[in-house]
Amino acid sequence: MFYELSDEQKEFQKKVREIYEREVSPLVEEYESKETFPVQLFRILGAEHLLCLRCPKEYGGPGLDKISECISMEELNRICAGIGSGIMVQGGLATDPLLHYGSEDLKQKYLPSAAQGEKIGAFALTEPDAGSDASGIRTTAIRQGNGYRLNGMKTFITNGTICDFVTVAAYTNPERRGTGINLFVVNREDPGFSVIKKLEKLGNYSSDTAELAFDDCYVPKERMIGEREGGGLGQLEETLKSGRLTYGARSTGVGQVTFDTILSYIKGTQRHGQPLARSQAIRFMMAEMAMSLEAMRYMTYRGAWLFDRGLATMKDASIVKLFCTESLQRIVQKAMAIQKNIGLMMENPIQRFLRDARLFKIPEGTSEIQHLVIARELGL
């Protein structure tokens, strides 16, 4: 076992850190306060090969591995979790099903433009009445002629108002609960597709979240992902496995910036005429935070290492998501406890880290769902 990043990975980490500091940091304040995603970043990061990292070179991506994606996501989320959301969906949920299950034609049509940032992708599974239980979705895709007619509503969709295409889950056979689902690619300009409204959230302000409608939206059969009707749920599960590991990296990034911010606050602060760093309560809290961060990082990169070798199970991915997102909650709460009133002020970044962290418990399976998955894989 070897627990260090390789020289090449360290070089990549240094490179992405520099790029994100240069290209993303200057945008954070403006776009967090405007509550919009800086769409220009797609082309900028596309040109730097930092969008769909695992997309092979033949489809316009850099063809890197999961460890590299986690390095990149940790660094990006250290700077801004909201922006991290939009970029994560582009290289994960929106394009992974295409990459792994799409026809050659679909791959050629969508992946190069997504990897280069010319087209923005979204992924739509959740509905007003179905989130955790994917088999409960009501959106249908009923065969008609040479295509399918989609009807239904989707909500909480990241990149929803800004997307050029969306990977949508719908029932091709509503009689077959769970097994009758397929994924389709819908283009923004397809008649019958509309953005109902943009949603305002507690955190991740600079990510774009929307409610979408499919009203007799016709898509040609070539835009179904996979060759046969049914099987979409299995495609979704594989896609979520990767995404749950990415949440480990995102949580580590937000945890690290919280830790760094609070450490420099402690070092520069006196309370009751004494350096804050002398307080045993503070020292204990910092030690706990440092310990959590170490464990989060090890777990995330072990999960990514397993994933790259085809060895990661759903249990591995769920353990990473659950442990890292829940550990992050404790880190941001401790940081807030240390700063007290100052942490609550909007000019202070700790309040943003706390709000952003709270959202991490929900997408790609809530904490409760991760518990259920782990228990199921234990044979319970």
Ligand X SMILES: Cc1cc2nc3c(=O)[nH]c(=O)nc-3n(C[C@H](O)[C@H](O)[C@H](O)COP(=O)(O)OP(=O)(O)OC[C@H]3O[C@@H](n4cnc5c(N)ncnc54)[C@H](O)[C@@H]3O)c2cc1C
Which residues lie near ligand X (CB under 6 A)?
Answer: 89, 123-126, 131-132, 156-158, 204, 209, 359, 362-363, 366, 368-369, 372
Q: Is 238 annotated in the active site?
A: no
> For the chain, what percentages of helix, strand and coil (3-state, to nearest 5) are there?
55, 15, 30
CA distance between the termini of the chain: 31
The nearest distance, CB 209 to ligand X, in angstroms, is 6
**Residue number, 201 or 221, with CB nearest to ligand X:** 201
Query: Which residue of the chain is nearest ligand X when measured via CB?
Result: 131
**Residue number, 26 or 128, with CB nearest to ligand X:** 128
Please report the beta strands in the chain, taking only residues with DSSP state E, as ranges in sequence order: 121-124, 140-144, 147-158, 165-171, 181-187, 193-198, 209-220, 224-225, 270-271, 274-275
The nearest distance, CB 141 to ligand X, in angstroms, is 16
Pair of tokens at residue 353 = 């880290």
Pair of tokens at residue 369 = 């769902």
Closest to 254 (Cα-Cα) out of 285, 293, 222, 280: 293
**Residue number, 19 or 236, with CB nearest to ligand X:** 236
User: Which residue in the list 69, 211, 229, 364 is annotated as catalytic?
Assistant: 364
Please answer whether residues 59 and 100 qualify as being in contact, where contact means their C-beta atoms are separated by less than 8 angstroms. no
**Residue number, 131 or 343, with CB nearest to ligand X:** 131
Q: How many angstroms separate the Cα of 129 from the Cα of each of 126, 351, 354?
A: 8, 31, 28
Burial class (CB in 10 A: 0-12, 13-18, 19+), 317: buried
Pairing state of beta strands 121-124 and 165-171? parallel
The nearest distance, CB 140 to ligand X, in angstroms, is 16
**Residue number, 327 or 339, with CB nearest to ligand X:** 327
The nearest distance, CB 366 to ligand X, in angstroms, is 3
Instruction: Provide the CA 203 distance to its chain's centre, in angstroms.
Output: 14
Q: What is the CA angle 143-147-153, rounded to 5?
A: 70
- The Cα–Cα gap between 206 and 162 comes to 12
**Residue number, 21 or 368, with CB nearest to ligand X:** 368
The nearest distance, CB 222 to ligand X, in angstroms, is 23
The nearest distance, CB 98 to ligand X, in angstroms, is 15
Question: Which residues are known to be catalytic?
Answer: 364
